[in-house]
Amino acid sequence: MEGIRVIARTDLTHVGRNIYHITQYDSCCCIIDWFKLSAGFEGSSYTAEDEFCYRKQEISMEEFEAIRDMIVFVDSGAKQEVTVYW
């Protein structure tokens, strides 16, 4: 492995939640950072009154969307790469 790699696991298919598990590895395959970003809500979409978390801290909907929007998914043929800016 060269450089830093990031693996993202997402759960966006269930009604009532959006969950991102992000793990970052160095060139030796050692974990150097990880976090969970999530939204929990009733129905098919969230509102400002719903529950949002980042690194086990409650955050606002605006903060959730700003962090989520910094996660860039790149489709590289058969695999999906992720770049995370934070």
The residue extents of the domains of the chain are: 5-84
pLDDT in tens, 21-72: 989 888 888 999 999 999 999 888 899 999 999 999 999 999 999 998 887 6
Beta bridge partners of 81: 74
The whole model's pTM is what?
A: 0.75
- Predicted pLDDT of residue 57: 97
Task: State yes or no: pLDDT of 83 exceeds 60.
Answer: no
- Predicted pLDDT of residue 5: 76
Tell me the three state secondary structure of residue 45: coil
- Predicted pLDDT of residue 49: 94
